[in-house]
Structure 1
């Protein structure tokens, strides 16, 4: 037996004008960022997060930014082994950069850095 009612209860519905505005924002961001692929940018999101990196790809919904690790907590290399008799792991360039997907509708500002 199904415990769900036949008619779902609406919890949230985006205003039609707001949905149209968000769609236009996404299209505008996509057009602007298409020109910046393979360039270094600073991105600020609507949540006031700021990222710097190189745009490596773009699709209809997301921009993919390769950010340099620096002192972030993204597994910096070389990796020390847990016990002293082993030498440290060699540097692995695949772990030195992280690819961050960001939703186009979440972007507040994008600036070219070079």
Structure 2
């Protein structure tokens, strides 16, 4: 990585081209997997260790959209009274997707 002037400012970070291509390839692979499993219940674990359960309701090539039902102990995003909330996850941050039967 190098810092270079870009007009009125300086570039603080520029991703390595090989890493960028790798991420794009995996993002496309995950979008295809998620698209083939629409309306199926899954458990998703992110690279940061967060785990969510829900039903896949969509993917837009960059994000996975899950309908979730928060438990009484999990009000991080939706509050205690939310039902059937849609959680959006970034595809390249996903570590494991498990199909629930």
For this structure pair, what is the TM-score category when the shorter chain's length is used for normalisation?
0.7 to 0.9
The residue number in structure 2 matching 1:44 is 45
Number of aligned residue pairs? 93
- Distance in 1 of aligned mates of 2:96 and 2:79: 28
The residue number in structure 2 matching 1:102 is 89
Structure 1 residue ranges, 4+ long, deviating more than 6 angstroms after superposition: none
**In the alignment, structure 1 residue 64 sits paired with structure 2 residue 51:** no
Structure 1: stretches of 5+ with no match in the other structure: 78-94
More strand by share: 2
Query: Please, what TM-score do these two structures have when normalized by structure 2?
Result: 0.84
- Distance in 2 of aligned mates of 1:51 and 1:19: 26
Superposition CA RMSD, Å: 1.6
Which one has more relative contact order, counting CA pairs under 8 Å at least 6 apart?
1
Deviation at 1:10, TM superposition (A): 1.4
Question: Which SS does the other structure have where 1:110 is aligned?
Answer: strand
The residue number in structure 1 matching 2:80 is 76
Query: Please, what TM-score do these two structures have when normalized by structure 1?
Result: 0.75
